[in-house]
Amino acid sequence: MNPAWTLASKAAAVEAALNTLFCEPEPTPRVRLNESLRYSIVGGGKRLRPVLLLSFAELGGCDMDAAMDFACAIELIHTYSLIHDDLPCMDNSDLRRGRAANHCVFGEAGAVLAGDGLLNGAFELMLSSTSPIAAEYKLAAAAELAAASGRLGMIAGQVIDIENECHRVSPTAADLTQLCRLKTGAIIRGACVAGLKLAGVTDPEKLGAAARYADALGLAFQIRDDMLDVLSSAEAMGKSVGHDAENGKVTFASLLGIDGCRAEVDRLTDEAVAALEVFGGDEFLAGLAEMMARRDH
Amino acid sequence: MNPAWTLASKAAAVEAALNTLFCEPEPTPRVRLNESLRYSIVGGGKRLRPVLLLSFAELGGCDMDAAMDFACAIELIHTYSLIHDDLPCMDNSDLRRGRAANHCVFGEAGAVLAGDGLLNGAFELMLSSTSPIAAEYKLAAAAELAAASGRLGMIAGQVIDIENECHRVSPTAADLTQLCRLKTGAIIRGACVAGLKLAGVTDPEKLGAAARYADALGLAFQIRDDMLDVLSSAEAMGKSVGHDAENGKVTFASLLGIDGCRAEVDRLTDEAVAALEVFGGDEFLAGLAEMMARRDH
């Protein structure tokens, strides 16, 4: 199947599963916690991370339905990080996925607690999953995601990012690469590796290949994002663009130039596709890497 | 052994275990994330929750050492909730455990991320624990703690508390009891029940008894706290007291009076001790409930 259709179909399945979450009545009338969680989760996004988790789980022989709680969990983690990132004391962003940021609608305290609720909720979902997967595999997959989102993964990236802003540091390409591997890359890597672990895969060669695919895809994704901030229209991106240059922000685009970025994205995409060889290749995952390299939003 | 000595000895073991956490070097020189996590964790506290988890694990036949990662995890969850609670957009407290609150030392963004890092870190610790406990039991215990700290437990309590403040609601004793069962009680209950589950206990009668012990202890603890805010000297409490009355805050003390509180604490303590019968009683846990009922700080 055309990888774009497969992506759309898997993302729609994730969307449907996410839609069943947090539907209980609120504990008291004034409380709007579930409403707030649903506001941020159901508000769109590419669902790239859950689709990666599902696809690597399938590659390891695990049924997509059985992996769905874990796929949703990774989207909850991603969404919590966006809510906290947008807070006034962090990036102070009012817009997210084309809508008002969570803190603009539910207040700052509400947004702190909504983020906490989603991060905690991700683990609730994984740990109480009734999916027919061995406890050992569930534990290994959840541990992988916990490490990816934790203080040596995504949170380290967020801290470094905040510190760079505070001290007006001008990062080199190597600094940006390290930041990207932590802030956005760790979760993408976690999604791919946890997918395999959920399927009971323990072969270090396969786990390493999933990590290499994820690292190349994640870095290419970020470089493409920086290119699009220069090239793209606000309409296509669904958010304001040209921000980076206006703010004098150092990005891959400002460091490597557009042609340099394009060459790097191509190189990384080849690397991602090559990493799939140990699985005998995978049409969808290879196509996904190529789609992400050429995307215009 | 005298329950005060047992408490001191178990708390010291927890302290030593907590002290081994987050000791890796920071990823870059300006980052102070581990320093921030250690600042808030090592800063004292009664360690009541981890001691409860350890004691119920032992009651179920599980070695204390084997349960230590889970005991530390619950203290990380408790500490994260304090860091986020103290934020300017939440309770805006500058003082915690006799020292400057985390956000006063590491900044607001730093405190948001430190809280996130501790919540995430609690799950990392549990899920990657190498303790020789069956994966199934680890999963059940971690799921219990996740539910306790989540949006239907502690976080629901925090949201209700914030809402009450915002709307200047005057709660009834029943409202305060519900709030206490969620905001502070859920984690205490989680500690006791997760301890048994870590030991592989599945008998609903025993799990229910642990929950009843915890509910009675947790509520008595809160009522005693409200009494102490009226009765105690600032010196003995290690924090300023008489705050509640000054702020016109409705507490168990203002609703029930000191004598009414005392009677309720006694009733709840008897209830906690009675709940231990299904285990053939437990000298330490009974003594602990009695100590908490009479504590003066």
pLDDT digits (tens, 9 = 90+) for A183-231: 999 999 999 999 999 999 999 999 999 999 999 999 999 999 999 988 8
- Closest residue in chain B to residue A31, using alpha carbons only: B160
pLDDT at B25: 86
- Asked if the model's pLDDT at residue A108 lies above 70, the reply is yes
Contact B45, B96 (CB under 8 A): no
Q: How confident is residue B241, by pLDDT bands cut at 50, 70 and 90?
A: low
- A123/B121 CB distance under 8 A: no
* Structure tokens that stand for A280 in this block: 């005998």
* Contacts made by residues B267-275, CB under 8 angstroms, sequence distance 24+: B268/B216, B268/B217, B268/B219, B268/B220, B268/B223, B268/B293, B269/B216, B269/B217, B269/B220, B269/B293, B271/B212, B271/B216, B272/B212, B272/B213, B272/B216, B272/B217, B272/B220, B275/B209, B275/B210, B275/B212, B275/B213, B275/B216
Interface ipTM:
0.94
The whole-chain average pLDDT of chain A stands at 93
- B121/A28 CB distance under 8 A: no
- A128/B108 CB distance under 8 A: no
Point out the residue among B31, B139, B151 whose CB comes nearest to the CB of A159: B31
With beta carbons under 8 A apart, name residues in chain A contacting B69: none
* Structure tokens that stand for B184 in this block: 């502070």
Q: What is the pTM of this model?
A: 0.95
Query: What pairs with residue A95 in β-bridges?
Result: A100
Establish if B87 touches chain A: CB-CB under 8 angstroms: yes
pLDDT at A54: 98
With beta carbons under 8 A apart, name residues in chain A contacting B27: 152, 156, 160, 182
Establish if A142 touches chain B: CB-CB under 8 angstroms: yes
Contact B16, B68 (CB under 8 A): no
- Give the mean model confidence (pLDDT) for residues B173-199: 96
pLDDT at B169: 83
Establish if B255 touches chain A: CB-CB under 8 angstroms: no
Mutate to test the interface with A, among B151, B178, B198 (most CBs of A within 10 A): B151
Cα separations in angstroms, B27 against A158, A163, A182, B162? 12, 12, 10, 35
Contact B123, B80 (CB under 8 A): no
Point out the residue among B135, B152, B160 whose CB comes nearest to the CB of A28: B160
